[in-house]
Copies of this chain bind each other. A is one copy, B any other.
Amino acid sequence: MVDVKSGVNPLFLREEELRQGIELLFYAYRDFTSDPDAILAQHGYGRAHHRALHFIGRNPGISVAELLAILRITKQSLSRVLSQLVTEGYVIQKQGTRDRRQRHLFLTEKGVELERQVSEPQRARVARAYREAGAEAVEGYRKVLLGLVNEEDRPAVLRSIKRR
């Protein structure tokens, strides 16, 4: 006599819990990206530009290969946005000294300012959510998100977010 309706089946509950976790991630990401998108559109840029600006800003001197590894896109795809950002004076490339094949990427002052402007509402959104949820919840948020990352990539992610 298994009571199906009252949901005592632990597998069923689990499945439902997982689907909720999946949907929450979708909804959060949907709104999380909407603020920058709107501002960027005014500058004639898109989400891809924001991502490049963000990770170059966070990792001054990052090489092209390293940036590609983070974004997980092809160099041709990155090239499109990067060359725009360079041409328009938001990013500069410096040839490596130890390895002169490398191009180290930096935001210009203009680039720093644009990045700040674009990410400001995003930071405000996260700040609000953190404040409302409390420190303990934030710890859980971070733990679960890190757990969603491919296991083999977690060390790189930890290094990346802890840098500075």
Contacts and interface: CB of A to CB of B under 8 A. Distances in A.
Interface of A: 14-32, 34, 51, 54, 58, 72, 119, 122-123, 125-130, 132-134, 136-150, 153, 157, 160-162, 164
Contacts of A123: 15, 18-19, 22
B119 A132 contact: no
Chain A binding surface SS class: helix
A162 B145 CA distance: 21
Contacts of A23: 54, 58, 157, 160-161
A28 B149 CA distance: 5
Contact of A18 (B126, B136, B140): B126
B14 A127 contact: yes
A140 B148 contact: no
Contact of A147 (B18, B132, B136): B132
6 contacts: A15-B123, A125-B148, A126-B148, A133-B147, A136-B136, A137-B143
